[in-house]
Amino acid sequence: MLLDHDAIGGLGQWKRWILQRHTGDPNMPTTKIKPQTKSAKVIALLGRAKGASLEEICKATNWQPHSARAFLTGLRKKGLVLAREQGSDGGTVYRMISHPCGEDASS
């Protein structure tokens, strides 16, 4: 599909956005930014030295506790090694020990 960039100048903002999406033209950048996924947020929390409590995971993702625990189970099945430890306040803290490819989480 060939487009005349001068003709596009007269189009509305939303039409320009549609053309950007369909043509993939790098000269017509879109302004839409992909938000960070909930999975990425949880993995980042687990990668911290102090780990993350179930409450922190639920707050960051707006998940119910049973959903957060199910997600942690899914990470284990994918090969992530997670440590479950007793926190200083008596709650459970989860911490990532290694990534699925065998790398140490601290590196």
Confidence (pLDDT) at 91: 87
Residue 60 within a domain = yes
For the CA atoms of 73, 77, 83, 87, the dihedral, rounded to the nearest 10 degrees, stands at -10
CA pair distance 30, 28, nearest whole angstrom: 7
Note whether 42 and 94 are same-domain residues.
yes
In terms of pTM, does the model score above 0.85? Answer: no
Write out pLDDT tens, residues 5-40: 455 455 566 666 666 666 666 565 555 556 689 999
Is a pLDDT exceeding 50 seen at residue 107?
no
For residue 21, what are the domain limits? Answer: 1-31
Element (H, E) at 75: helix 65-77
Residue 106 within a domain = no
- Beta-carbon contacts of 9 under 8 Å, excluding residues fewer than 6 positions away, are none
Which residue type, as a one-letter code, is found at position 75?
Answer: L
Write out pLDDT tens, residues 33-72: 566 899 999 999 999 999 999 999 999 999 999 999 999 9
Residue 105 within a domain = no
